[in-house]
Amino acid sequence: MKDETSELIHGEAVEKDLALLRLKPNLQGYDKLRKTFKWSDAEELIDWYPDGKVNSAYNVIDRHALGMNKDKIALIHDDGQGNVQKISFEEMYRETNKFANVLAKLGIRKQERVFVFLQRSPELYVSFLAAIKAGAIASPMFPAFGPDAIRDRLLDSGAVAIVTDTELVKRVYPVRNQLPDLKHIVVVGDANSELGEISYEAEMRAASENFETLHMNPEEFQFMLYTSGTTGKPKGVVHAHKGIVQQTLTSRWVLDLHDEDVYWCTADLGWITGVVYGCLGPWSCGVTQVGLGGRFDPDRWYRLIEDHRVNVWYTAPTAVRMLMAKGDDLPAKYDLTSLRVLYSVGEPLNPEGVKWALDVFDNKPFHDTWWQTETGSILITNFPEMPIKPGSMGKPLPGIEAEIVDEEGNVLPQGHEGNLVIRPGWPSMMRQIWNNQSKYNEYLRNGWYYTGDTAQIDKEGYFWYVGRADDVIKTSGERVGPFEVESALIEHEAVVEAGVIGKPDQLRGNIIKAFIVLAPGYTESDELKKDIQKFVKGHLAGHAYPREIDVVKSLPKTRSGKIMRRLLRARELGLPTGDTSTLEE
C-alpha cells in the first residue's frame, strides 16, 4: 500500500537537547503516560467543593486569591499605548465578586446567558469570569462583529444581558428590537441612562466585594461560544464546568506553564483560544498573563515581550507569517531572551515558520497545537519534551484516542488520508449545540466525534493536517462560515445570489472570495465591489468580508438549489471538478 505521508514531511525533525531546556517540561514520559493516564488523575489539579460540585471560575481566580498567590500579579494589561495596569489575583477576586453581585442584583438566574462584548481590557476578563461565578453561561463576542452577527448570537441563545462599552453598544441598537429576551445592557464608559443602559462603573462602586461563588454541577455550563459551520447560522457550542480539568491539564502539559512564567496568548477572548488559553487554563495554573490591546503591530508585539519578559507565547500562523514578512532586523532590535517556549494554533503552521523561529528566537521553535471550539482544549500537539516535525500537528494528548477513518468509521491503514476523528468523552468536549440537537448529532457517527478536518498519521505517530472536509473557511486563523457571508452579501440591494469560498493566500492562510450575481440594472465596477465589501463589514463583521469579488452570470447549483461551493473552489484553483452529476447550471 502506498505510504502517502511521505510527501507531507518536510525536512528534518527539530531535535531538542533536553538538558539545555531552561525548565524541565511538566510532561515527562509521553509514551508511558499514553498507556497509563486516566482522566480521574487530572481531577486532582482542580479544587472541588466538599459537596462534589465545582466552579471553573473558582479555580481560575478564587483559589489563588484565597491562597498563596494572593498578591501575585494575575494580569498585566498593556493597552498598546504605553498604559500598563497590573492586577493581582486578590484584586481580580474582588472585582469579579463585585460584578457577580451586580449580575445577581439584576436578577440574572443560574444558566441564563450573559454576553460580553468588549475590547481587550480588564473589564472584559472581570465580566466574563464574574458571569461564570454567578452561575450564568458566559459568552464572549468578538469586537469586530456587526449588528447581524450580534443579532444571530443573542437571539439564538436567548441572552438576557450584554456587557459592552460606549462604542460597541452602537452596534447593538440597530437590532435591539429583534431581541425580546435581552433585558439588560451594561455599559463600560458613558452609559446612557435615558436609554435604560446600566453603568458598569456606578454599579461596581456600589457593589459588595463579598460573593459566594456558586457551586455548580460539573455538567452544568460555564460558557458558550458561537462558531461557524458549512451551513446555516453560527452555532452555540456549549461547554461544561468540568472542562476546566482538561483546560488546566493542557496548560501544564502542553503550554508547559510553570509558577514563575509570564505568559502571553495573542488571541482575543471572542475566540476559543482566547477563552481557554488567554484566560481560563493559565490562570487556573496561577500564572501571570499579559494582555495587549489594540491592533496587530510587529513593533509593539516584540516590545511587549521585551517589556514584560514574556516566557511562554501562544500565537497563530498568520501572525507568525506577518512577523516573518517584516524581516529579521526588527526582532534583532529587541531583547527577546526571556522567551522559553512558543506555540501556535488555528491553521497549518508552515515548516518555514517553525524554522524561522529557531533563527530569530535563539533556537526556540514554534510548537504547533491542534484543537477546535468544540473540543474545548488542545487534543493533538507537539510537546516540549518531543522532537518537532515541522509541518506536523504532533501527537494526541494522553487520554485522547485520535484516528483517521473513512465515512463508515473504519480506521484507515497508517499513511492514508481520511477523516480526523476522536473517541468522544474527554472532559472538555462540548456538551451541546445550543437549541440544535440534530447539529450536535451530526458530529457523532460510528462511535466517533468527526472533527470536519482531514489528516494523516506518519509511521512515528505524528499527525499531519490535510484540510477541511467541509466548506468552513479559516482566514487569518479565524473561523468563518460561507453561509453567513453569503447571507450578508444578498442583503445588499445589488446582489441576488452569492457563493463564498476560502481561497488559499500566502499570508492569511485563506482569504474570503465571493462570486456574486448582480440584480438587474447593476453593472460591475470597482466602486460597486468596494461598496459591497463595506456593507458586509458593517453588517456582519470587520474581518469576515470578501477581499475578492467576482461577478458571474450564474452560480453552479445542485438540482435542489444548493450552491456548489466545491465547484467554485475547484474552478478558481484550477483543480479537477470531481463529480458534477448533481449540477444544474
Cβ contacts of residue 380 below 8 Å, gap of 6+? Answer: 369, 370, 371, 393, 394, 395, 396, 397, 400, 402, 463
Stretch that binds ligand WTA, among 48-56, 119-127, 369-377, 557-565 (CB under 6 A): 369-377
User: Does residue 484 interact with ligand WTA by CB under 6 A?
Assistant: no
Site for ligand WTA (CB under 6 A): which residue of 122, 365, 415, 452?
452
Q: What is the widest separation between alpha-carbon atoms in the chain?
A: 72
Residue 447 CB neighbour total at 10 angstroms: 10
User: Does residue 351 interact with ligand WTA by CB under 6 A?
Assistant: no
DSSP 21: -
Q: How far apart are CA 54 and CA 446, in angstroms?
A: 32
User: Does residue 346 interact with ligand WTA by CB under 6 A?
Assistant: yes
Stretch that binds ligand WTA, among 297-305, 364-372, 486-494, 497-505 (CB under 6 A): 364-372
Stretch that binds ligand WTA, among 127-135, 357-365, 423-431, 446-454 (CB under 6 A): 446-454
The site string for ligand WTA over 215-254 (x = CB under 6 A, - otherwise) reads: ------------x---------------------------
User: Does residue 479 interact with ligand WTA by CB under 6 A?
Assistant: yes
Stretch that binds ligand WTA, among 129-137, 357-365, 397-405, 447-455 (CB under 6 A): 447-455
Nearer to ligand WTA, 213 or 250 (CB): 250
Q: How far apart are CA 537 and CA 433, in angstroms?
A: 27
Nearest by Cα to 429 from 402, 463, 409:
402
Nearer to ligand WTA, 124 or 455 (CB): 455
Cβ contacts of residue 308 below 8 Å, gap of 6+? Answer: 76, 78, 262, 264, 290
Q: Give the nearest distance from C-beta 267 to ligand WTA in angstroms.
A: 8
Site for ligand WTA (CB under 6 A): which residue of 468, 547, 557, 571?
468
User: Does residue 370 interact with ligand WTA by CB under 6 A?
Assistant: yes
The site string for ligand WTA over 274-313 (x = CB under 6 A, - otherwise) reads: ----------------------------------------
Asked if 187 and 197 touch (Cβ cutoff 8 Å), the reply is yes
Stretch that binds ligand WTA, among 268-276, 288-296, 530-538, 547-555 (CB under 6 A): 268-276
Stretch that binds ligand WTA, among 171-179, 293-301, 324-332, 339-347 (CB under 6 A): 339-347
User: Does residue 448 interact with ligand WTA by CB under 6 A?
Assistant: no
Asked if 384 and 369 touch (Cβ cutoff 8 Å), the reply is no
Sheet arrangement for strand 137-140:
198-199, 184-188, 161-165, 113-116, 137-140, 221-227, 235-240, 432-433
Q: Strand pairing of 380-381 and 366-370? A: antiparallel
Asked if 381 and 367 touch (Cβ cutoff 8 Å), the reply is yes
| Closest residue to ligand WTA, based on beta-carbon distance | 373
C-alpha grid cell, residue 183? 433585558
Q: Give the nearest distance from C-beta 199 to ligand WTA in angstroms.
A: 34
Site for ligand WTA (CB under 6 A): which residue of 268, 368, 458, 471?
368
Cβ contacts of residue 441 below 8 Å, gap of 6+? Answer: none
Stretch that binds ligand WTA, among 8-16, 278-286, 346-354, 571-579 (CB under 6 A): 346-354
Q: Please count the residues of this chain forming the interface with ligand WTA, following the rule CB under 6 A.
A: 22
Residue with cell 458613558: 190
User: Alpha-carbon dihedral of residues 452, 457, 462, 467, nearest 10 degrees?
Assistant: -30
Nearest by Cα to 46 from 257, 278, 220, 281:
281
User: Does residue 397 interact with ligand WTA by CB under 6 A?
Assistant: no
Site for ligand WTA (CB under 6 A): which residue of 474, 508, 539, 565?
474
> Which residues contribute to the site for ligand WTA (CB under 6 A)?
227, 271-273, 345-348, 368-373, 393, 451-453, 465, 468, 474, 479
